[in-house]
């Protein structure tokens, strides 16, 4: 039995997210057992393949379209090698084919920025959905005329940062700046410009839970520190504490406070190194948290 979760469809009675049984062709509520739909349409191929080679023989469609390619992946691609050996004629054809695909200056500019987005996304190990969102952000900027005569690296970096905010991917502006080689101030300038001219809808605030989880996993800390830090951040949840401040620095402060309370005091220098912030930032954010709130620790005895 093949099960897939369907978060977009809910039960009419208990409002629980339904589970799809692909083999039976029905959506079932895991809470009350109600069958919502007993005729799921299978959008997959009608054939079955035993291995990847058999699949390549039977498939009748090309690669999916992608916003990260300037031509959406719809044009013909000429391979790199012929029978494992380089061919001069094929190299010449490939070179001229690439030139013809980007004959106009607008196409060349689009290809350059999308190439940077793909490059940075690969280094940052971003999900495909985040890369596609970044490409969509830049395409909107280009259509509005805002991206004209702007820095290729700056627009690519700002588009990626905005896509990370939209998709809930825990990447800080400093991480993107380290990959692109640009100062944070430049990326922030282009980011604000895109928000002002192109992206009018609400951009969600970075989730501290993601940054805390990322920091704890990267530093190899005990999971109880993550649980404690996450609980503290959720209980405080103060916009005045987070507005205009790096989420990585606030997450690092919560992790540091949790390590002290749990008797596993970790040096600020070590936390700062893994979080990508300075020790001064951790001290400032820690002081702000302790000045604003009273943290009580309950000790359980047997």
Structure tokens belonging to residue 162: 């905005």
What is the pTM for the complete model shown? 0.64
Chain segment 107-127, per-residue pLDDT in tens: 888 888 999 999 999 999 998
Same domain, yes or no: 229 and 170: no
Residue 98 within any structural domain of the chain: no
Answer for the pair 162, 195: CB distance below 8 angstroms, yes or no. yes
Choosing from 61, 93, 113, the residue where a domain stops is 61
Same domain, yes or no: 190 and 125: yes
Which domain CATH number covers 35? 2.20.25.10
Residue 158, helix vs strand vs coil: helix
Which domain CATH number covers 160? 1.10.472.10
Residue 27, helix vs strand vs coil: strand
Q: What is the DSSP letter of 63?
A: P
Helix, strand, coil percentages in the chain from 3-state DSSP, rounded to 5? 55, 5, 40
Chain segment 209-262, per-residue pLDDT in tens: 888 888 888 888 888 888 888 888 888 777 677 777 788 888 899 999 988 888
**CA distance to 129, 172, 174, 194, 283, per residue, from 157 (Å):** 16, 11, 11, 11, 29
> Which residues constitute the domain of residue 231?
208-292
Same domain, yes or no: 176 and 234: no
Residue 100 within any structural domain of the chain: no
Chain segment 62-97, per-residue pLDDT in tens: 667 788 887 776 666 666 665 656 677 777 877 776
Same domain, yes or no: 187 and 221: no
């Amino acid at each position: 039995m093949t099960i897939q979760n369907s978060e977009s469809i809910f039960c009419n009675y208990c409002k629980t997210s339904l589970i799809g049984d692909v083999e039976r062709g029905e959506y079932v509520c895991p809470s009350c057992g109600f069958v919502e739909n007993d005729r799921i349409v299978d959008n997959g191929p009608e054939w079955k393949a035993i291995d990847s080679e058999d699949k390549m023989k039977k498939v009748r469609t090309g690669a999916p379209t992608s916003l990260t390619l300037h031509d959406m992946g719809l044009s013909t691609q000429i391979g790199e090698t012929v029978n494992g050996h380089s061919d001069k004629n094929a190299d010449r054809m490939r070179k001229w084919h690439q030139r013809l695909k980007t004959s106009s200056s607008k196409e060349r500019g689009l290809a350059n920025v999308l190439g940077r987005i793909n490059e940075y996304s690969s280094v940052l190990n971003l999900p495909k959905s985040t890369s596609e969102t970044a490409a969509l952000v830049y395409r909107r900027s280009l259509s509005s005329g805002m991206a004209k005569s702007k820095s290729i690296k700056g627009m690519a970096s700002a588009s990626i940062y905005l896509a990370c905010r939209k998709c809930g991917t825990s990447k800080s502006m400093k991480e993107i700046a380290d990959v692109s080689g640009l100062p944070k101030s430049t990326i922030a300038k282009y980011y604000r410009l895109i928000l002002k001219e192109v992206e009018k809808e609400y951009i969600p605030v970075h989730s501290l839970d993601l940054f805390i989880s990322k920091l704890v996993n990267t530093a190899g800390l005990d999971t109880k520190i993550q649980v404690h830090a996450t609980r503290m951040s959720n209980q405080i949840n103060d916009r005045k504490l987070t507005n205009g401040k790096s989420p990585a620095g606030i997450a690092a402060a919560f992790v540091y406070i949790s390590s002290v309370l749990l008797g596993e005091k970790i040096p600020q220098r070590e936390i700062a190194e893994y979080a990508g912030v300075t020790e001064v930032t951790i001290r400032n954010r820690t002081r702000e948290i302790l000045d604003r709130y009273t943290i009580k620790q309950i000790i359980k005895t047997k």
